[in-house]
Homo-oligomer: A and B are copies of this chain.
Amino acid sequence: MLETLVERRPAVDEAIAEVLPREIDEAYLSEFFGPATHRYDADALQRVLADPVWELLDRGGKRWRPVVFLLLVEGFGEDRERYLPYAAIPEILHTGTILVDDVEDEAELRRGEPAIHRVYGEDVALNAGNAMYFLPMKIVSRNPAGLDAETRLAIFEMLSDELNRTHLGQGTDIRWHNDADADPSVEEYLEMCACKTGCLGRIVARLAALVTGQSAEREQAVARYAETMSVAFQIGDDILDVEHSLGEAGDFGKAFGNDVREGKTTLLVIHALETASDERSRRLREILRAENNTDDEIREAIEILRESGSVEYARETALELAAEARDHLAEAELADEETEQLAEFTRFVVERDV
C-alpha cells in the first residue's frame, strides 16, 4: 500500500495540475474559467491561488484519498487511467479544508512548516481554500470520462450533500472548543468525526462508485467503509497524541500534549470525563479549559486519561470501527487484490506507530 502511495503520487499531482497549473496565465484563465469580460490579472491570481496551494501540496501529504479512489475504481474492475482526472477532486477539496481549518484553528504549523496563512496572510489562505471548494466541480463539468447528464447530476448532488455535512462536523467541533461547558456524548463525538473527517472519505468512495456506474447498494457499502475508516483514523490520531506524550510512541511530529494544550474534546477525554471520579473529572475539565497550562498540568491531565483506561477504550473503539469498515468493504465485493490492499490500508491507518 505504501509503495502504491509513493508510486502514484506523480500521476495524481499531474491530474491536479491539469485544473490548477503551477503557472497561471491568461490562456489558462480564459480556457478554464471562461473568457474575461474585461481582463484578468493573471499575475495576481498566480500569487493568491497557484502559489499558496502548490506550496502546501509540495510540502507533502500522502495523497491517500486519490490512491484509495483509484484502488476502488480498479476494485470495481474499471480502468484507472480513464478516471484519473477525477482522483484530483478529493485531494483538492482536502487541500481547501486544510487551508481554511488552519485559520479557524489558529494553527501554527502544517506539514512541518509555518501554516500557509502565516506565510501568505489569512485573507489569501482563506480565499485560496474556498476557491479549492469550487475548482473540483469544474472537473465534473469538463466531463473527461464522458459521463451522461444523470451521472454528472448525481456527482454534483453527492458533493454538495457531503460538503454540507462536512461543515456540520467542523461547526460542532468549533462549538465544543469554544464552549467551556460542552459535554458531548460518545455518539455525538463519533458523529462529529463522521461529518468532519468522514464526509471527505465518503466523497472518495461515492465518487469512485458514481463515475464507474455502480449500484446504489455498492455505493453505500464503500461510502460506509470510507466513513468508518476515517473515524477510526481520527481516533487513531487522538490516541497517538496521548501515547506520544506518555513516551510510548515514536515521534509524531507534534508538540507534547498537543490536544490537551488545545483543550480538544477527544474520545479519550469524553471517556475519562464520564468514568473518572468527580474530583479527577473536575480537574481534567479545569486543565482543558485553562488558557495556559504548565507542562506539569498537561502531564496531570494525561495521567487522568491513562488511569481512566481511556487509551484502551479508544483503541478498542478504533479497532471495532476498523472491523466494521472491513465488513462494509466485504459487502462491496471488490476484486480480491484491491480488497486486500484496502484492508491492509485500514490496518495501517489504525495501527500506525501504535
Contacts and interface: CB of A to CB of B under 8 A. Distances in A.
A150 B152 CA distance: 10
B39 A188 contact: yes
Interface of A: 29, 33-34, 36-41, 44-45, 47-49, 100, 103-105, 121-124, 126-128, 130-131, 133-135, 137-138, 140-141, 149-150, 152-153, 156-157, 160-161, 163-165, 167-168, 170-172, 174-179, 182, 184-185, 187-188, 190-192, 194, 198, 227
B40 A188 contact: yes
Given A41-B184, A190-B38, A130 B127 contact: no
Given A37-B191, A171-B48, A191-B37, A126 B126 contact: yes
Nearest to A52: B171
Q: Secondary structure of the A side of the interface?
A: helix
Contacts of A49: 168, 171
24 contacts: A36-B194, A39-B187, A39-B191, A40-B168, A41-B184, A44-B171, A45-B168, A45-B172, A47-B179, A48-B171, A103-B122, A104-B123, A104-B127, A121-B174, A121-B178, A123-B177, A124-B175, A131-B164, A131-B168, A134-B160, A134-B163, A137-B157, A140-B157, A156-B157
